[in-house]
Amino acid sequence: MPARASGQVLVDGEAEVSLSGKPLCVLKPGSCFGEILYFADSVERRTTTVTAHSRITAMQIKSGALRIATPACQVGFNKAFIRVLVERLAQANRQFAQR
C-alpha cells in the first residue's frame, strides 16, 4: 500500500499491530488502520506494522475518493477515524500510567 493511498477497515479476521517488532494490539473486525496518513498533509513513513497471521478481509478506503466524497460522507468518516484515534490515545495513556 503506497503512503497516503488509503485507510483500511478490517471486515473479517484478526491482525496484529506492532511497533519496532513489539506487539501493540490485535485488531478485530470493525477496526481500522492506515487512517493516520489520511489526516497527514505530507507523505510520512508508516509508524506501525499490521500483520495478518491468517486470512483476513479488509475494505480499502482511498484517500483521494474520500476527499471528493460529499461533505456528509467526509464528516462521517472523519468522526469515525477520530473516535479510533482518541481511543488509541486513551489506551496509550493507560499503558503509560501503569509503568
pLDDT at 55 over 90: yes
User: What's the pLDDT at 56?
Assistant: 97
Q: Please write the tens of the pLDDT for every residue from 6-43.
A: 788 999 999 999 999 999 889 999 998 888 777 776 66
- CATH superfamily of domain region 6-97: Jelly Rolls (2.60.120.10)
Q: Which whole number is the average pLDDT over 64-91?
A: 89
Residue 5 banded pLDDT, cuts 50, 70, 90: low
CA–CA separation, 6 and 9 (whole Å): 10
User: What's the pLDDT at 2?
Assistant: 43
3-state secondary structure the chain: CCCCCEEEEEEECCEEEEECCEEEEEECCCCEECHHHHHCCCCCCCCCEEECCCCCEEEEEEHHHHHCCCHHHHHHHHHHHHHHHHHHHHHHHHHHHCC
pLDDT at 44 over 70: no
In the chain, where the domains are located? 6-97
If you average pLDDT over every residue of the chain, what do you get? 86
